[in-house]
């Protein structure tokens, strides 16, 4: 019998109409329960964690095929998913100067970490959760970096230069990391930590905020067997869990709690007031009130 990375390959068969209806219902429940759009890969891992489908490449391809049919049949909305691996490159343009000035004022942000002891970044193992992590992290002025597995030496060198600059300004570099709980997943953040220290001479506080053994128990996350093809699997104890299996709301909460736990609330609130006053100054300076029905700048 042929084997997959997780054990014997199940005999291929077509899903029954009842099974497809249940899979569609589970899919809609996950989509409707998410505040933001998710990736199809994230949906796949959530369905696996529910026991709706097996964790195989065949099942993933089948899910994509079903989603194509369901979306064309209007059973699933076209805008239900995000694809962080593809993007447009376009220069931002404006209809007039007023629109440009309005955006300048509305997007003005102070460096809220200027009065904080840390320089913080959020790192994620994969694209599937990047959007939900960055949505929270960016609201605090924290950048998000997608490792996509083991980070390249080039990207680590660039990160090291940023961390060195922060350290020279008296900041303590710190990374909040979210990745899979499996032999390779645990190796990613440890390898990056070691490389930053040994290759580039930067000591960074690396904090894994997901997935942890405690979360597997507390969140009742469904585990899978370790991959037989994983060269690091020897001696591995317990099951494995993808970070994608955690619900988006929980991932956001983990990121928010981790960041706020680092913040000096008094200094943060004080600088926030300064930011708002400066925004009002910008508004009064750049955008003059309309005179005689015409815009004036």
- Tokens 């660039």 correspond to what residue? 158
Nearest of 282, 291, 288 to residue 103 by alpha carbon: 282
The pLDDT tens digits of the residues spanning 178-235 come to 999 999 999 999 999 999 999 999 999 999 999 999 999 999 988 888 887 777 888 8
Q: Alpha-carbon distance 31 to 43, whole Å?
A: 8
Helices (DSSP H) in the chain: which residue ranges? Answer: 17-32, 40-50, 57-72, 97-106, 130-139, 153-168, 183-198, 213-218, 248-260, 265-286
Largest CA distance in the chain: 83
Tokens representing residue 105 in the block:
């004022």
pTM: 0.79
The CATH number of domain 112-259 is 3.40.1360.10: yes
pLDDT at 286: 81
The pLDDT tens digits of the residues spanning 259-280 come to 999 999 999 999 999 999 999 9
pLDDT at 238: 83
Laid out side by side, the sheet with 118-124 consists of 144-146, 118-124, 172-178, 205-210
Nearest of 223, 248, 236, 214 to residue 55 by alpha carbon: 223
3-state secondary structure of 206: strand
The conformational region for residue 23 under phi > 0 = left, psi -120 to 50 = alpha, else beta, is alpha
Judge whether 262 and 120 are in contact, CB under 8 Å. yes
Length of the chain: 297
Q: DSSP letter for 236, please.
A: -
Q: Alpha-carbon distance 3 to 25, whole Å?
A: 30
Which has the minimum average pLDDT: 6-10, 15-19, 132-136? 6-10
């Amino acid at each position: 019998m042929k084997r997959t990375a997780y054990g014997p390959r199940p005999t291929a068969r077509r899903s029954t109409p009842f099974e497809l209806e249940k899979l569609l219902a589970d899919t809609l429940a996950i989509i409707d329960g998410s505040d933001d759009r998710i990736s199809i890969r994230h949906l796949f891992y959530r369905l696996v964690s529910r026991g709706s489908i097996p964790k195989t490449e065949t099942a993933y391809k089948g899910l994509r095929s079903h989603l194509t049919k369901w979306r064309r049949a209007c059973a699933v909305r076209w805008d239900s998913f995000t694809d962080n691996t593809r993007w447009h490159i376009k220069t931002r343009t404006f209809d007039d100067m007023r629109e440009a000035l309005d955006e300048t004022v509305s997007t003005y942000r102070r460096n809220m970490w200027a009065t904080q002891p840390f320089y913080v970044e959020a790192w994620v193992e994969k694209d599937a959760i990047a959007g939900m992590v960055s949505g929270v992290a960016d609201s605090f002025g924290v950048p998000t970096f997608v490792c996509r597995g083991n980070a390249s030496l080039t990207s680590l060198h660039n990160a090291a230069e940023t961390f060195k600059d922060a350290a020279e300004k008296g900041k303590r570099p710190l990374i909040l990391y979210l990745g899979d709980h499996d032999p390779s997943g645990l190796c990613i953040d440890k390898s990056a930590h070691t490389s930053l220290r040994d290759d580039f001479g930067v000591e960074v506080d690396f904090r894994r905020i997901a997935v942890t053994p405690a979360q597997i128990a507390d969140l009742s996350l469904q585990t899978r067997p370790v991959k037989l093809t994983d060269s690091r699997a020897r001696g591995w104890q317990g099951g494995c869990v993808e970070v994608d299996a955690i619900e988006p709301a929980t991932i956001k909460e983990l990121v928010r709690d981790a960041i706020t736990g680092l913040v000096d609330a008094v200094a943060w609130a004080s600088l926030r007031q300064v930011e708002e006053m400066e925004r009002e100054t910008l508004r009064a300076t750049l955008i003059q009130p309309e005179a005689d029905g015409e815009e004036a700048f």
